[in-house]
Amino acid sequence: MTEVLDGFDVCKIQGHVETKVANPRMQDLCGRCGRLRGDDTMDRDIETERRWIREAADSAQYVADPEAISELFGAFRERRCGKGPWLDVTGRDWIEEALEEAADQANYVMAAMQQLALEGRVDEDADRCEMLLRISLGASLTAYNALIQYRTAADL
């Protein structure tokens, strides 16, 4: 009989040190490595994701070198989320999460704009920095608007 191993078993085999998880919200996490235990995952198609990033860079506003920025952004994105499956997918509202992230981006950009203004610089570089932050703020609004329109169309 072939034994089927789950991720938690693999952690034990890899020799992770077992720790107790005190937070009840974290009970489904491996006490050894912090990964989610369970089957609530969705496989990812990394190559398709990379293609979508390249295509988005080609049509994005204010992107002078779409190939370079898609590589840079893609690498950053993959470092942040890894290459494993999407986790905790049941009942998850991906659009709501994206809306929240668009709002967070706008908040961070406005904090940077205020910080730039407090510096009191009066030079071309400061003007360029402000313009770039305003473009980023506009991108947050564009993302928010597109997601709201998506939600409306998807609910039809």
pLDDT digits (tens, 9 = 90+) for 113-149: 999 999 999 999 999 999 999 999 999 999 999 999 9
**pTM here?**
0.73
Asked whether residue 107 falls in the same domain as residue 156, the answer is yes
Asked whether residue 65 falls in the same domain as residue 106, the answer is no
- Domain limits at 97? 93-156
Asked whether residue 111 falls in the same domain as residue 151, the answer is yes
Separation CA 36–CA 105 (nearest Å): 27
